[in-house]
Structure 1
């Protein structure tokens, strides 16, 4: 029997969309981060984030987002800002009832993006 993916364990697309909505609510409520999203197409960003989380969770999705460095280069994101965004994603996953092991697996994929996103 195939082992169940994290994606299906956490509830599939509906659950991922709920996590992403919660995540962006948290991020946009933070004055330190909200400016990064000024003038951005939030519907497109949400769709990319749903794709990304689905892909790292083993869902039936190929992540088609721009190269991470290229997509974030102009934003000049600091390490502490990256970490803060990560904390909000982790909180959204936990609040959605994702178990610790799956949260860790998703967050390790996110952590791997820190060097290209902060430009190191």
Structure 2
């Protein structure tokens, strides 16, 4: 079971790394995604759990040291909410600007994806909804990862 989850996570990570299209605009099925994520309350719970997972993930925890956690939580919740078709507006910096000095690697990007999957699983988000959200987040890869 654990091996199967690891394989799925790796496949998703490779799929995400291969995507190079701009972020998708909200689509017709997004309101269904917003509901599947538990609407605003569910998204905030996912992001909170993600932050706890990140703290324990030695692959990426150092990238988040000194972060204004409340601000990050709010911006990430807004961004996911907006991408899922919810009634939110993301007002943070663009991905390239906010990650430009961080030297994020593919390994770190993939680790964050794995952690997000764990947070969604903890919140009982259906796999189909997880995949739909990841597909909307994947185009940000090139703005975040620096060669």
State the distance in 1 between where 2:134 and 2:81 align.
Answer: 13
Alpha-carbon distance in structure 1 between the residues aligned to 2:90 and 2:132: 17
Deviations 1:53-76 (A, max 9, x none): 111111101211211001001111
> In structure 1, what is the equivalent of residue 104 of structure 2?
77
> Quick check: 2:100–2:144 contact (8 Å CA) kept in 1?
yes
Aligned match for 1:21, one of 48, 51, 54 = 48
Measure how far apart 1:93 and its partner are: 1.0
Q: Tell whether the 8 Å contact from 2:36 to 2:126 is kept in structure 1 after alignment.
A: no
Shift of 1:5: 2.5
Does the CA-based 8 Å contact 1:86-1:110 persist in structure 2? no
Which residue of the partner structure matches residue 20 of structure 2?
Answer: none
TM-score by length of 2: 0.75
1 or 2 for the larger relative contact order (CA 8 Å, sep ≥6)? 2
1: distance between equivalents of 2:50 and 2:107? 17
8 Å Cα contact 1:28/1:34 also seen in 2: yes
Q: TM-score, normalised by structure 1?
A: 0.91
Q: Distance in 1 between matches of 2:136 and 2:34?
A: 14
Q: In structure 2, how many angstroms separate the alpha carbons of the residues matched to 1:75 and 1:10?
A: 29
1:108 alignment counterpart: 135
RMSD, aligned CA = 1.6
Please list every run of 5 or more consecutive structure 1 residues that lacks an aligned counterpart in the other structure. none
Report the equivalent of 2:115. Answer: 88
Deviation for aligned residue 1:98: 1.1
Tell me the CA shift for residue 9 of structure 1. Answer: 2.9
Q: Where in structure 1 do 4 or more consecutive aligned residues deviate above 2 Å?
A: 2-5
